[in-house]
């Protein structure tokens, strides 16, 4: 027959050695937890961080963006600059400190959302409106200058036409009426008259060398020459200078001089108007070119604005907890807790023997009481005193009370950890990363809350 060994948990746990080991371990853990709770490091909270990245855009000043975030949350630390390893991209890095990890992350996510959907679109839209208003203002100013130049040209042309059609009717210079030519003489007489005419012309030339036109002899010779020329019927090209009466000559000269001066003034006025029109046309040409340049610049600027990045090109990653500030026990604290825990385990293991094991006979009196017969014996006084002291200090009642107290401390620590993890699930992952720090933090929170 095969004998099967059955494991009885109740019988195993009732073994004296198991009970003593349980009490020692419970006392050690309780002392270690109490040491971490009493000598805990100051806990200053959690530091969370969020990154906002996007392409560089005109109208977005990162320094002003940092100031806006600082005004929205004075406790945040904002760093701005180019994104590492990525050209033509900018990054806004913001950190925030809070007592709870969820509070820090939620606050950073809220700030990033407000920045992305409130501040950034407003800044880019204001920049675009300003650029468009500036380009439109330049085009409007150029068109106004062009209209002014065109109006000035039209006004000058109207003035030129008005002066042309409103010219005063100047009197024509008086015409000198000459007497009708006489009947032509026979050829024989014409030859004699020609010879006489040549003599008179020679005589007139000689007199003009010595006298002026007003000399009587010069005037007489001119009259004679004119009479011979009429008799000979010479053409105007072969005639000499005509001599008019003094009064008629003066009137003709005055009329001619007035006519000449009027024509000169009129020509000067027409020349001034023409010069002004030319200058106005040149100015109109320049303003038209400026207007075309301004319109072309406006078109180019609108194309540039349409191709620039928008607020949708920026994005923010979810905020993450970077580190826990404080709360992690020092190595000296852990070492002291370990030493105290070992001491407590040894003491509890030694003291639990009185509560777990059957009572032992330590003195002759105890033996006589058990046997109910007189016993003659002796024992060292020191050993007897030590035994009595152990009996008084490590009474079973005291040992059981210390065990229950250690269990209560461990139960309290476990309950605090479970409650904290339930409230903040992120602590569950931190237990694996930093168990002693998490335990110290939870106990510190629990103690401070109570």
pLDDT one-digit tens code per residue, 293-320: 988 988 888 888 888 888 888 989 899 8
Residues spanned by CATH 3.30.70 within the chain? 41-130+315-322
Instruction: Provide the pLDDT for residue 448.
Output: 57
pLDDT band at 152 (very low <50, low <70, confident <90, very high): confident
Q: Per CATH, which fold does 41-130+315-322 belong to?
A: Alpha-Beta Plaits (3.30.70)
Q: Does pTM top 0.85 for this prediction?
A: no
pLDDT higher for 134 or 265?
134
Q: How far lies 40's CA from each of 44, 100, 291, 337, in Å?
A: 12, 18, 77, 11
- C-beta separation of 340 from 32 below 8 A: yes
Instruction: Provide the pLDDT for residue 339.
Output: 92
In the structure encoding, which two tokens stand for residue 57, read together?
């855009």
pLDDT band at 95 (very low <50, low <70, confident <90, very high): very high
pLDDT band at 223 (very low <50, low <70, confident <90, very high): confident
At residue 85, does pLDDT exceed 90? Answer: no
Instruction: Provide the pLDDT for residue 245.
Output: 47
pLDDT higher for 266 or 140?
140
């Amino acid at each position: 027959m095969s004998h099967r060994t059955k494991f009885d948990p109740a019988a195993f746990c009732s073994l004296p050695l198991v009970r003593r080991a349980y009490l020692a371990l419970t006392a050690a853990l309780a002392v270690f937890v109490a040491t971490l709770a009493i000598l805990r490091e100051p806990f200053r909270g959690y530091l969370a961080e969020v990154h906002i990245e996007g392409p560089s855009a005109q109208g977005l000043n990162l320094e002003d963006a940092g100031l806006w975030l600082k005004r929205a949350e004075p406790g945040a630390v904002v760093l701005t600059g180019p994104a590492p390893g990525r050209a033509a991209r900018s990054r806004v890095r913001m950190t925030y400190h809070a007592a709870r990890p969820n509070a820090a992350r939620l606050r950073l996510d809220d700030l990033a959302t407000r920045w992305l959907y409130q501040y950034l679109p407003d800044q880019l839209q204001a920049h675009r409106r300003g650029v468009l208003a500036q380009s439109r203002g330049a085009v409007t100013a150029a068109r106004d200058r062009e209209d002014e130049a065109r109006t000035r040209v039209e006004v000058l042309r109207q003035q030129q036409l008005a002066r042309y059609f409103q010219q005063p009717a100047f009197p024509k210079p008086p015409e000198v009426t000459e007497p009708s030519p006489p009947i032509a003489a026979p050829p024989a007489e014409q030859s004699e008259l020609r010879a006489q005419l040549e003599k008179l012309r020679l005589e007139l030339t000689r007199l003009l060398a010595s006298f002026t036109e007003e000399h009587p002899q010069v005037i007489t010779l001119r009259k004679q020459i004119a009479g011979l020329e009429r008799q000979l019927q010479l053409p105007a090209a072969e005639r000499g200078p005509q001599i008019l009466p003094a009064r008629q000559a003066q009137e003709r000269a005055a009329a001619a001089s007035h006519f000449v001066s009027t024509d000169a003034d009129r020509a000067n006025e027409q020349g001034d108007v023409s010069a002004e029109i030319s200058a106005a046309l040149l100015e109109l040409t320049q303003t038209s070119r400026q207007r075309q340049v301004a319109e072309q610049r406006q078109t180019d600027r609108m194309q540039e604005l349409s191709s620039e990045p928008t607020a949708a090109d920026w994005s923010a990653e979810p905020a993450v907890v970077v580190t826990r500030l404080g709360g992690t026990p020092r190595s000296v604290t852990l070492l002291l807790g370990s030493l105290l825990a070992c001491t407590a385990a040894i003491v509890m293991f030694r003291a639990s023997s009185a509560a777990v094991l059957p009572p032992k006979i330590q003195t002759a009196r105890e033996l006589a009481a058990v046997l109910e017969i007189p016993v003659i014996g002796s024992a060292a006084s020191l050993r007897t005193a030590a035994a009595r002291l152990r009996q008084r200090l490590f009474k079973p009642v005291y040992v059981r009370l210390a065990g229950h107290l250690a269990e209560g401390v461990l139960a309290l620590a476990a309950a605090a950890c479970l409650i904290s993890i339930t409230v903040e699930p992120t602590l569950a992952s931190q237990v694996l990363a930093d168990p002693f720090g998490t335990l110290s933090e939870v106990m510190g929170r629990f103690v401070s809350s109570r």
